[in-house]
Structure 1
Amino acid sequence: MSLYSFGKPIVYAFYKIFFRISVEGVENIPNEGGVLICSNHLSNFDPPLIGILIKRSLSFVAKEELFKIPFLGRLLRHLQAFPIKRGSGDRGAIRTAMQLLRNGHALLIFPEGHRNPNAPLRQGLSGAGFFALKTDASIIPCAIIGHYGFRERMKVVFGSPIDSDLLKRQINKSSEASAVIMKHIQELLDRQQ
């Protein structure tokens, strides 16, 4: 049994005790095949929150600095995270993400590139759009709503898959594809207000 599988019910119990969690649209996530989950990013609590709410195991990118902390770096790797050098077009991280998606894994990314606990969403970086255009992964927009505080309400909404065939026919720039993804995330956020 992997640390991810072992830890998931423990993390789930922690989140259920400390937050009031609800989820919508989990049925939109395919049970197999590459899946790119693109979400807004409120806090470092976001990756485990999304990970405990879906049936599939989930990989995610994390900033390289976290992997330099001895215990934390090893833990993150066991929890299916891999490092990215932000702001540099990290080719190693891009290759890892592409391989995961092409091999049928689920990958969580935050198109804004870093935490943004305040509205409105910032412009998405080109990474999400690049993966959307270069792989056959299902693209699932995701919105995290709420504030992480003891017994505060946290809601996660998984939107309907973005039509990747249509996206590829209409758009050929990664930045434009990312803008479409960000628009879908913003629509999910707007519906909750």
Structure 2
Amino acid sequence: MIRFILCVTYVVVFLILSIPLLIAEWIIGKFSPSAKDISSLRIIQAVFKGVLWISGVKVTVIGEENVPKDAPVLYIGNHRSFFDIPLTYPRCPIRTGYVAKKELEKVPLLSSWMKYLHCLFLDRTDIKQGLKTILTAIEKVKSGISICIFPEGTRNKNEKETDLLPFHEGSFKIATRAKCPIIPMAISGSVNLWEAHFPKIKPCHVVIEYGKPIYVDQLDKETQKHIGAYTQNILLEMLKKNEYLI
């Protein structure tokens, strides 16, 4: 329980003490939006690294060279843990917004930082609003901001990590409309950090593998129609391959 208490305390203290930072970032954004974006990115990446250090997790990264360092992408990942974002966000080389559930928009201070980082809030119960979120994500990518989405739509609570939930095909419109590459992102073992023995946080080994970029316009027409299933199969193969590493 000590690690859990330390992590919660660390995050809460940061959010409270970050109020002056939020104001400073807002002022910076008035003069230089790009400078504000980068500084907000680095601040939160540092905070997440602190969370991972407290949790004691060991992270092995495979295929990071597949992630473009100078162009936006659509990250497509499996989702098993609340720690999936702290685990992957520090590795984003450029501005990146995550698509999160609508409920997080109601959390004071946290939602402010998320908006600074170009995160989007998805209402899973409202199809019209969901489409609006996807359209906003497309514009974000076109402006040079990567987007990360977990197309299972919610945390996967199945016993086996390789038993993925169906991918929502609508998520992939971000890549097809913005003409950006898709980066499959397989996260193995993150559930063992917290959810597997809630509420305790226990040190564990997590493997993150980035697959080769998928350029939708280079695929045949039939595959393009089922790009969600195609990407899911690639992700599944990486998860199966990395099972023995956890």
Do these two structures clear the TM 0.5 threshold for a shared fold by scoring above it? Answer: yes
Choose 105-114 or 10-19, whichever is displaced more: 10-19
Shift of 1:92: 2.4
Instruction: Please name the residue that 1:10 is paired with.
Output: 47
Instruction: Please name the residue that 1:69 is paired with.
Output: 107
Asked if residue 106 in structure 1 is aligned to residue 146 in structure 2, the reply is yes
Question: Given residue 153 of structure 1, which amino acid in structure 2 is its aligned partner?
Answer: H
Structure 1 ranges of 4+ moved more than 4 A: none
Question: Given residue 140 of structure 2, which amino acid in structure 1 is its aligned partner?
Answer: L
Contact 2:76 2:182 in 1 (8 A): yes
Unaligned residue ranges in structure 1 (runs of 5+): none
Asked if residue 145 in structure 1 is aligned to residue 188 in structure 2, the reply is yes
Contact 2:98 2:147 in 1 (8 A): yes
Shift of 1:168: 6.0
CA–CA distance in 2 between the matches of 1:102 and 1:170?
Answer: 25
Instruction: Please name the residue that 1:52 is paired with.
Output: 90
CA–CA distance in 2 between the matches of 1:191 and 1:21?
Answer: 16
Aligned CA distance change for structure 1 residues 17 and 62 (closer, same or farther; 3 Å): same
- State the SS of the aligned residue for 1:70: coil
Which of the two has higher C-alpha Rg?
Answer: 2
Instruction: Please name the residue that 1:123 is paired with.
Output: 166
Shift of 1:191: 1.1
Percent same amino acid at aligned positions?
29
Q: 1:159 aligns with which of 206, 211, 217?
A: 211
Aligned CA distance change for structure 1 residues 57 and 168 (closer, same or farther; 3 Å): farther
Instruction: Please name the residue that 1:42 is paired with.
Output: 80
CA–CA distance in 1 between the matches of 2:123 and 2:49?
Answer: 29
Unaligned residue ranges in structure 2 (runs of 5+): 1-35, 194-200
CA deviations 1:42-65 (Å, max 9, x no partner) are 112212211112322321111111
CA deviations 1:84-103 (Å, max 9, x no partner) are 11143323211210001112
CA–CA distance in 2 between the matches of 1:117 and 1:28?
Answer: 29
Choose 164-173 or 116-125, whichever is displaced more: 164-173
Asked if residue 135 in structure 1 is aligned to residue 172 in structure 2, the reply is no
CA–CA distance in 2 between the matches of 1:134 and 1:168?
Answer: 17
Q: Which structure is richer in relative contact order (CA contacts within 8 A, separation 6 or more)? A: 1
CA–CA distance in 1 between the matches of 2:54 and 2:167?
Answer: 33
Higher helix share: 2
Instruction: Please name the residue that 1:96 is paired with.
Output: 136
Asked if residue 24 in structure 1 is aligned to residue 36 in structure 2, the reply is no
Instruction: Please name the residue that 1:84 is paired with.
Output: 122
Q: CA RMSD in A?
A: 1.9
Instruction: Please name the residue that 1:189 is paired with.
Output: 239
- State the SS of the aligned residue for 1:122: coil
CA deviations 1:50-84 (Å, max 9, x no partner) are 11123223211111111122333223223331211
Shift of 1:162: 1.7
Higher strand share: 1
